Structure 1
Amino acid sequence: MLKILGKAASINVRKVLWTCDELDLAYEREDWGSGFRATDEPAFLQLNPNAMVPVLIDGELVLWESNTICRYLCAQYGQGKLLPAAPRARAEVEKWMDWQLADLNNSWRYAFMSLVRQSPAHQDPDQLAAGIAGWNKMMGVLEQQLQATGAYVCGEQFTLADIVLGVSVKRWLMAPMARPDYPAIAAYHARLADKTAVFAG
């Protein structure tokens, strides 16, 4: 059986749990991370030297990096679900997954650490304002895409891109800050909320 190491509250762990839910995969999960077992324990570091969750164990295979784990689960067990086999369709999904990881994630780091984590090192008002503006700007890119598709990120079909971006949308909506009115994102959020308890949690 698959084993997932990481607390369910982690945004990156939720990507993996949601993927398992969509693919009907059974798994065992162990709580690791803040508030639970420390990821700097030697046993955990042997699995992931970055000391971060999630970690997936599938037999002798050990994987870290949440988007990579989700891709693997789809490729190994998905039978074409969530991640298309056709190169062009797959590239479209992976483009948005990479955008989430490289561009969107970087845009919210300062604002999230300041507003949600209340980090003393992230309380500079100018940097916070810039962080909020940058985060909202990146979400505007997603708003434009969703206006164009009218459904999910890559079109009519729900894909892996929607899992990784769905949890990011939820984080943006829950942050205590001013946000533009993005009606396509609001409709998208409601659409995703009907899919799985993992998203609602």
Structure 2
Amino acid sequence: MPKDMADFETLRPRTLTMRQPDSTDGAAIWDLVRQCKPLDENSMYCNLVQAEHFSDTCVVAEMDGEIVGWISGHMIPKKNALFVWQVAVSPKARGLGLGRRMLEHLTSRDSCAGATCLNTTITKDNDASWALFRSFAREVGGELSDAAHYTRDVHFDGKHATEHMVTITLSQSAAAQPASAA
């Protein structure tokens, strides 16, 4: 390929879409999560089940047909809270604000309309996740709070850092925005 064409390919606008996952996305999601350290690698089967059973509260982002973003989440039973388990963004899509855009897309879905807050857990040393959720809280005008929740010694038998439960309040106007494709 001529050098000019190679340069054109790297500058070409990319098509970004967000959608609900399905079971056929499980393997690609699993591959993506494995690229995104320090995320815990679940089994491929876990990602397949999440994509099929929880598709209403999960998001995949595709760029030119390739999965480059993933959020797994669920509504917490008997609470008006959306729990976000994992956010993964491919190195190919970093710097685009994709994590925050996927969170905005997810919280605007009808399936999340009853959520008055978003919960997630983050270890104290995961700077990227803290930055993402602080940015999201600012964007939606929500209050962010955190407290130690799953502790190293009580819950992880000393083998994993304490996970802090992060809570972001969601205004009804933020949650009511229509989900867009990008």
TM-score normalised by the chain length of structure 2: 0.29
Q: Which has the higher helix share?
A: 1
Q: Which has the higher strand share?
A: 2
TM-score normalised by the chain length of structure 1: 0.27
